[in-house]
């Protein structure tokens, strides 16, 4: 599912957090929103998700204007920096949660949910941890469970907010590689927020460089390097925190 953002503005009181954002996010690709802290990345992601509403402008999923559609009807999956797993539920129950909480008329039968969970556990290579609780997992394992949970309901769009930000460098590298291969296999449309340029360049098909609520540049990672006169990439490093 492609995403089109059309002349979006977001004000918090008098503060204009997003200024005339227009952007095409192609279907089946990984798009990074890259920029320093406070540049508006999370706000844009939350508006795409429907967790926050725009002050002006439209969001389209494919041909459908979803600007007024609530989050539960947008068919998006989320992964946050701090996992947001349910502490009192096992890994398997966390993954099943999205399916179990579907309205009765669309909810798959119990046996099918169990099968889906098994498949997802295989996919994240953690079938042996199905009965553990989040507190018994490492950070990297928790984030893999969070990803499986986000994918359980087969969202059209996967949104990730600094998904590897809380992990140490080695785990982060593994998870990046792993997200990339998962993505190449399943072809969901993903948008992820990061202030880590290396991560954006390594993981994504398209990088959207943001600064002070505006888009500075949109390009393939390889072209960001090549572009003469770009304010990106290395200048930009200076004010990333
Ligand atoms: P980033 O994700 O790039 O760090 P954010 O989207 O979180 O940036 O924030 C962009 C700007 O909007 C920041 O200046 C932030 O302080 C402001 N902002 C974000 N959310 C709110 C809010 N709920 N109320 C007021 N200001 C906000």
pLDDT digits (tens, 9 = 90+) for 193-213: 998 888 898 899 999 999 999
Measured from the Cα of 42, ligand 1's closest atom is 2
Nearest CA to ligand 1 atom 26: 12
- Find the 40 Cα to ligand 1 centroid distance in Å: 6
**What predicted TM-score, i.e. pTM, was given to this entire model?**
0.89
How does pLDDT run along the chain (241 residues), one tens digit per residue?
999 999 999 999 999 999 999 999 999 999 999 998 899 999 999 999 999 999 999 999 999 999 999 988 898 998 887 778 999 999 999 999 988 988 888 889 999 999 999 999 998 889 999 999 999 999 999 999 999 999 898 898 999 999 888 788 888 888 888 888 888 887 889 999 998 888 898 899 999 999 999 998 898 988 776 556 555 554 554 444 3
Q: Above pLDDT 70, what percent of the chain? A: 93
- Find the 231 Cα to ligand 1 centroid distance in Å: 23
**Count of CB atoms situated within 10 Å of the CB of 3:** 22
Question: Does the interface predicted TM-score (ipTM) exceed 0.90?
Answer: yes
Q: Is the CB of 39 under 6 A from ligand 1?
A: yes
Q: Is the CB of 40 under 6 A from ligand 1?
A: yes
């Amino acid at each position: 599912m492609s995403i089109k953002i059309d002349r979006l503005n977001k004000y918090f009181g008098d503060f204009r957090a997003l200024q005339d954002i227009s952007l095409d996010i192609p279907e089946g690709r990984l798009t990074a929103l890259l920029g320093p802290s406070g540049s508006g990345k999370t706000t844009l992601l939350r508006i795409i998700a429907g967790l926050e509403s725009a002050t002006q402008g439209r969001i389209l999923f494919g041909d459908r204007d979803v600007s007024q559609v609530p989050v539960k009807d947008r068919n998006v999956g989320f992964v946050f920096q701090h996992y947001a797993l349910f502490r009192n539920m096992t890994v398997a129950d966390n993954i099943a949660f999205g399916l179990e909480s579907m309205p009765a008329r669309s909810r798959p039968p119990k046996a099918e949910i169990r099968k889906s969970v098994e498949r997802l556990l295989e996919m994240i290579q953690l079938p042996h941890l199905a009965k553990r609780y989040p507190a018994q997992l490492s950070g990297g394992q928790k984030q893999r469970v969070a990803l499986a949970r986000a994918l359980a309901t087969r969202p059209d769009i996967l949104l990730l907010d600094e998904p590897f930000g809380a992990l140490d460098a080695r785990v982060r590298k593994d998870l990046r590689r792993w997200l990339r291969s998962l993505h190449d296999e399943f072809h969901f449309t993903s948008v992820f927020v990061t202030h880590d340029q290396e991560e954006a360049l390594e993981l994504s098909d398209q990088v959207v460089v943001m600064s002070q609520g505006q888009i500075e540049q949109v390009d393939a990672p390889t072209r960001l390097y090549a572009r003469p006169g770009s304010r990106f990439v290395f200048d930009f490093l200076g004010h990333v925190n």
